[in-house]
Amino acid sequence: MAVKNAFYAQSGGVTAVINASACGVLQTARQHPEEIGKVYAGRNGIIGALTEDLIDTSVESEDAIGALKNTPGAAFGSCRYKLGSIHEHRAQYERLIEVFQAHDIAFFFYNGGGDSLDTAYKVSQMGAGVGYPVACIGIPKTIDNDLPITDCSPGFGSAAKYIATSVREAAFDLAAMSRTSTQVFVLEVMGRHAGWTTAACALAAEREGEAPHILLLPEVVFDEARFLAKVKEATERYGQCVIAVSEGVKGPDGEFLSASGLRTPSATHS
């Protein structure tokens, strides 16, 4: 088998471990010089391929590659850029294949969430369709932990720890002021269609009665009457109520509550 080059790119919201995944890809590729030559990283995700803005990682030392495990952010730059269907945006896919051919790239590693893995699949289809097959491998990253056939996305663990810690800290602040001030605290949590991250807020409670007292998941239709009853019950029983709500919670009509247009009234000062 002839030695071919690889392309790696980061995509979507940055997680605490996305650079560790990059490290894994680059180190593993270097262990197989009989199959993979250079690994090019796209600057700002798939955009780096479309604009042919590639970073040659082969010039970096082993120490530099290893340091990615402890590097925050997205070392090569990420993006939120979803490729449309091959039928409607064929020119973009043809451009990708053109760049891959120019740099002898036969492996594509895309590190991201659901949309990114969908892009990898479409590029694979396009390559096969034009007679330039590309091995496309999706590397899970999303904090939502909702990728099919994935037991645990690497981005979920750190997000779960962070959000649970945030809930616990906010609860301590609320408890300190609840007798004379605010008794209800609401934390909006990422997760438009999956409630994994919101559910992780429950890790903040070490015993019964500790925050969070209410979790609102996108998989469960919001019931206003039941919700208000639960808030009243918590404030009467514990003197406070901490609520973690997913950004994707929907009402009975199927619409996102966040799209209702309601806003908290501004405080008035005398």
Query: Is 144 noted as a catalytic residue in this protein?
Result: yes
Q: Which among 104, 115, 118, 144 is annotated as catalytic? A: 144
Amino acid code (one letter) for 207: R
Q: What gap in Å lies between CA 164 and CA 211, rounded to an integer?
A: 10
Could you list the active site residues? 144
